[in-house]
Chain A
Amino acid sequence: MAETLDAEKVRKVAVLARLKLSEAEIGDYATKLGNILKYVDTLNEVNTEGVVPMVHAVELSNVFRADEVQPSLPRAAALQNAPKTDGTFFLVPQILEDK
């Protein structure tokens, strides 16, 4: 830990997060996220040797249900909020080259 954030690192994280940021946002996040990271470093004070990580508040495992066919969302309803659709599929930009 004790990491500092520079603009370069913010750019890298933005690529991982699939977020296009403006130069102003990159500068702003470098400072503000840097402050937050400095703050969370206080966790280093805590001895967590042998402590099992707590992933969830209710620690359930293997919730089973019967494998039965249930009605699902009709196609029209599933597509009703699509930014682009032909009525059958969600349309996205072409990702494979024409040969």
Chain B
Amino acid sequence: MSIIGATTGELLSRLERGELTSVELTTAYLDRIAQQDDRVSAFLTVNTAEALQQAADVDRRRQAKQPVGLLAGIPVAIKDVLCTKGLKTTCASRMLANFIPPYDAHVITQLRNADAVLIGKTNMDEFAMGSTTETSAFKITRNPWDLDRTPGGSSGGSAAAVAAGMSPLALGTDTGGSIRQPAGFCSVVGMKPTYGRVSRFGMVAYGSSLDQIGPFANDVNGAALLAQVIAGHDGRDSTSVNAPVPAYSQTVNQPLAGLRVGIAKEHFVEGLNPEVEQTLRTALQVYKSLGAEIKEVSLPHTSYGVAVYYLIAPSEASSNLARYDGVHYGHRAEQFSNMIDMYATSRGEGFGSEVKRRIMLGTYALSAGYYDAYYLKALKVRRLIRQDYDKAFEQIDVLASPASPNPPSKVGEYSANPLAMYLEDIYTIGANLAGLPGISVPAGFTEAGLPVGLQLLAAPFEEEKLLRAARMYELATKWQGQRAAL
């Protein structure tokens, strides 16, 4: 059986049975990266030496029958927004082109404790701002299913790495859909946990009230295992919730009896691609055949989500990115006339145009005279959106929708019209505004062979239910295991 494309569970059992070593496995993935990544461009840094060292260390301990962690010897690719001690972390920005973190993000510590192999850092939209991975200052990641198209974003490098068989697992971050949308576009599984479920310590901040770290995998069980490893309380993130982490990987295979799957009537709007809509309807039939009940619910404020998001996220970003001043770390301009000019010139040179656009938008929305009309108004509508979900989840267990209204865009398609790109976030941003967990699972392909994702959302801290519902669908369909022909 091939290593490339095997699920995390298959790889772990082969490692445990001694049929395979982590060094062999890691070498196979590193070879795959060497062969394929010049076309896909998923990675910014390949961590070859340290990965092989970690693998050898796990092999030694496993052979000596010493206890090993939950992900012992399994490669994980890391979005380049997560700080890795001693390993360059750029956020795909010229601003941080040479930044070497002096500490690990909490999730990286969790991966090390679980004996995972950190195989490399993946490309992304600059500072996670974008939906296509095209705003990266360094390279454009291609969709493994169609190299003329984007993998989605902002975690496009992580999604493409898993889709191209360059890593069985990856970490991404999701502020407005940045895990779920690229997962859908690349036909892999991607989950955004409940806000507060995973510590954000060491994640470079974009929109702090929305950001959450989550797993990518080539099956639901892999995502469950990786979620279990990274979740949990951490005092260094004051929004990290102190609640026990269920053993998701232990329950994920148990089907849910009496499952109630919701659909929102507001999701069937103009702009929803007919093939994507058909994919969703087919998925609902699958759930019906598994004994689930399909219920229509209403989320009356759905159409305001994008406007709320594009006020709140840029406002938080303009504040978070104020730290890049050319003093403590990051780019400093060569030529400037005084201290203030040093800040402005360094920032003008270091940030790309989408990042500057969002800083400008957020600064404007927070500025004197506009705060009430924009930012405060958005926060009020945010509560109405959350209340819509609270009401819906009184009647349903999971809410099904497409991950995105259209198949992946062509490279360059949105460069002249950022608003058109923002509007594509309609199905994903609600979960960030309301803090809900969400998952995207492969749900088929368009006539042209482009992947379509099924998104499921659940009430806060119902990841276990979400994963079990997603696994039921995965087992009942043939999409898991289908791989892009590269």
In the complex, B342 has a CB within 8 A of chain A: yes
- Which residue of B has the minimal Cβ distance to A14? B360
> Once the chains are docked, how many angstroms separate the CA of A51 from the CA of B349?
41
Q: Quick check: A43 and B307 within 8 Å, CB to CB?
A: yes
Give the size of the chain A interface in residues (CB under 8 angstroms).
Answer: 52
Min C-beta distance of B120 to chain A, whole Å:
21
Min C-beta distance of B372 to chain A, whole Å:
10
- Known contacts A19-B356, A36-B418, A46-B304; A83 and B374 CB within 8 A of each other: no
Q: Mark A50-66, 1 if CB is under 8 A from B, else 0.
A: 01111111101001010
- Known contacts A36-B418, A83-B332; A93 and B377 CB within 8 A of each other: no
Which residues of the other chain, B, contact A58 by a CB distance below 8 angstroms?
A: 194-196, 239, 241, 435, 460
Which residues of chain A (11-48) have a CB below 8 Å from chain B? 13-21, 25, 28-29, 32-33, 35-37, 39-40, 42-46, 48
Q: Taking chain A's interface residues, is the majority helix, strand, or loop, or is none over half, making it mixed?
A: loop
The contact size tier of chain B is 35 or more
Other-chain contact of A57, B328, B336, B363, B434 (Cβ < 8 Å): B434
Q: Quick check: B383 and A51 within 8 Å, CB to CB?
A: yes
Which residues of the other chain, A, contact B353 by a CB distance below 8 angstroms?
A: 25, 28
Q: Quick check: B103 and A73 within 8 Å, CB to CB?
A: yes
Q: Quick check: A16 and B363 within 8 Å, CB to CB?
A: yes
In the complex, A69 has a CB within 8 A of chain B: no
Which residues of the other chain, A, contact B303 by a CB distance below 8 angstroms?
A: 42
Q: Quick check: B379 and A54 within 8 Å, CB to CB?
A: yes
Which residues of the other chain, A, contact B331 by a CB distance below 8 angstroms?
A: 83
Which residues of chain B (356-395) have a CB below 8 Å from chain A? 356-357, 359-361, 363-364, 367, 370, 373-374, 376-384, 386
Q: Quick check: A53 and B383 within 8 Å, CB to CB?
A: yes
- Which residue of B has the minimal Cβ distance to A65? B235
Q: Quick check: B383 and A40 within 8 Å, CB to CB?
A: no
Other-chain contact of A43, B308, B329, B348 (Cβ < 8 Å): B308
Which residues of the other chain, A, contact B209 by a CB distance below 8 angstroms?
A: 55-57
Q: Quick check: B343 and A80 within 8 Å, CB to CB?
A: no
Which residues of the other chain, B, contact A90 by a CB distance below 8 angstroms?
A: 327-328
> Once the chains are docked, how many angstroms separate the CA of A46 from the CA of B332?
44
Which residues of the other chain, B, contact A54 by a CB distance below 8 angstroms?
A: 379-380, 382-383, 386
- Known contacts A13-B360, A40-B374, A57-B195; A82 and B307 CB within 8 A of each other: no
Min C-beta distance of B462 to chain A, whole Å:
14
Q: Quick check: A18 and B238 within 8 Å, CB to CB?
A: no
Q: Quick check: A83 and B327 within 8 Å, CB to CB?
A: yes
- Which residue of B has the minimal Cβ distance to A80? B102
Q: Quick check: B301 and A46 within 8 Å, CB to CB?
A: yes
Which residues of chain B (293-337) have a CB below 8 Å from chain A? 301, 303-304, 306-308, 310-311, 318, 322, 325-332, 336
Q: Quick check: B336 and A48 within 8 Å, CB to CB?
A: no
> Once the chains are docked, how many angstroms separate the CA of A3 from the CA of B339?
32
Other-chain contact of B370, A3, A21, A44 (Cβ < 8 Å): A3
- Known contacts A83-B331, A93-B338, A95-B339; A42 and B307 CB within 8 A of each other: yes
Q: Quick check: A36 and B419 within 8 Å, CB to CB?
A: yes
Which residues of chain B (58-116) have a CB below 8 Å from chain A? 98-100, 102-103
- Which residue of B has the minimal Cβ distance to A46? B381
- Which residue of A has the minimal Cβ distance to B238? A63
- Which residue of A has the minimal Cβ distance to B196? A58
Which residues of the other chain, A, contact B376 by a CB distance below 8 angstroms?
A: 53
Which residues of the other chain, B, contact A14 by a CB distance below 8 angstroms?
A: 344, 360
Q: Quick check: A13 and B363 within 8 Å, CB to CB?
A: yes
Which residues of the other chain, A, contact B381 by a CB distance below 8 angstroms?
A: 43, 46, 48, 51
> Once the chains are docked, how many angstroms separate the CA of A92 from the CA of B341?
12
Q: Quick check: A17 and B418 within 8 Å, CB to CB?
A: no
Which residues of the other chain, B, contact A10 by a CB distance below 8 angstroms?
A: 360
Q: Quick check: A19 and B374 within 8 Å, CB to CB?
A: no
> Once the chains are docked, how many angstroms separate the CA of A32 from the CA of B356?
12
Which residues of the other chain, B, contact A40 by a CB distance below 8 angstroms?
A: 307, 310-311, 374, 378
Q: Quick check: A1 and B373 within 8 Å, CB to CB?
A: yes
In the complex, A88 has a CB within 8 A of chain B: no
In the complex, B347 has a CB within 8 A of chain A: yes
Q: Quick check: B367 and A19 within 8 Å, CB to CB?
A: no
In the complex, B351 has a CB within 8 A of chain A: yes
In the complex, B422 has a CB within 8 A of chain A: yes
What would be 25 A-B contacts, judged by CB atoms less than 8 Å apart?
Answer: A14-B344, A14-B360, A17-B359, A18-B322, A18-B347, A19-B344, A19-B356, A20-B347, A20-B348, A32-B357, A37-B361, A40-B307, A40-B310, A40-B311, A40-B378, A43-B304, A43-B307, A46-B384, A51-B384, A53-B382, A54-B386, A57-B210, A57-B432, A58-B195, A92-B327
Additional A-B contacts beyond A40-B307, A54-B379, A82-B327 (16; CB < 8 A) = A18-B322, A18-B343, A33-B364, A39-B306, A39-B310, A40-B378, A45-B304, A48-B377, A48-B384, A53-B376, A77-B103, A80-B102, A81-B100, A82-B328, A83-B327, A95-B339
Residues of A within 8 A of B (CB): 1, 3, 5, 10, 13-21, 25, 28-29, 32-33, 35-37, 39-40, 42-46, 48, 51-58, 60, 63, 65, 73, 77-78, 80-84, 90, 92-93, 95
Closest 8 CB pairs of A and B: A57-B435, A20-B348, A53-B379, A83-B332, A81-B329, A77-B102, A57-B195, A54-B383
